[in-house]
Amino acid sequence: MCRMTTLQRQWDEVLALEPEDWSYLSLELALDDPERMEEAALLVCPLNPWHGASWRSGILRFRVAHSEGYGADPGVTRSMLGRLDAVGIGGRLRLLQALDGVRLVLSHGPT
């Protein structure tokens, strides 16, 4: 019997392909069992996931920020995916978009 790659390992593989100056990653997690959608969302709530068309879609999306800006921390992301691995919630992690070398600029307000 072939064991599926863990979500933590999939996350490590995504990061391994990114340059050192990556800024933001948008990801999609397609659960193997859509019936476990609510359980999965509760376990990874620090990632601030959102769902596709419905809570029954089996699709969670979330954003990760490398060092600053909007998105979950990479280490927190790995830990949250480990929670899913620990309870047997599997799936496929897919990179939707990567932004590299982003520099934040103040647009208004006091300096």
Residue 110 scores a pLDDT above 80: no
Span 4-31, pLDDT tens digits? 799 999 999 999 999 998 999 999 999 9
| CATH class of the domain at 7-99 | alpha beta
Count of CB atoms situated within 10 Å of the CB of 38 = 11
Handedness of CA 61, 63, 17, 106 (dihedral sign): positive
Domain boundaries, the chain: 7-99
Residue 2 Cα distances to 5, 44, 97, angstroms: 9, 26, 29
Span 44-102, pLDDT tens digits? 999 999 987 777 889 999 999 998 778 999 999 999 999 999 999 999 999 999 888 76
pLDDT at 51: 87
Task: Give mean pLDDT, residues 26-47.
Answer: 96
